[in-house]
Amino acid sequence: MKYIGQFTIIIAISLIGELLNKIIPLPIPASIYGMTILFTLLSTGALKLSAVKETGKFLIYIMPIMFIPPTVGLIESWEVMQQFLAAIIIISLVSTVFVLAVSGRITQLIIRLKEKGGRK
């Protein structure tokens, strides 16, 4: 019963994200709105982590299963994708290197800021 309540909270926040996506005319996915709302609620203490923790762990545990349908869709679209394979590989490599570089720089910045804050 605890899982149903926690899942209901997560679904309600996702629904609010969907509604915001329809109301606000920005090209931001509804899932981003939902994650931002959940993060804000957890950060401010308006929602306790214990209210969604077990269900969150369960959803992360089963996440690989969620990738099966999109993977099957990609396999079925192989003939269409084959003509764009070089472009897909180049875009994937460039975007991966970009994300790694930006993540590394941000991590270094956060570490430096923490070190400076600890010295005071």
- Beta-carbon-side half-sphere exposure of residue 65 (alpha carbons within 13 Å): 5
Same domain, 57 and 80: no
Same domain, 10 and 55: yes
Per-residue pLDDT of the chain (120 residues; tens, 9 = 90+): 789 999 999 999 999 999 999 999 899 999 999 999 999 999 999 999 999 999 999 999 999 999 999 889 888 888 888 999 999 999 999 999 999 999 999 999 999 999 987 665
Look at residues 61, 46, 42, 44 and name the one whose alpha carbon lies nearest to residue 3.
Answer: 61
pLDDT at position 35, please? 96
pLDDT at position 1, please? 79
Same domain, 49 and 96: no
Residue 84: phi, psi to the nearest 5?
Answer: -110, 15
Same domain, 54 and 105: no
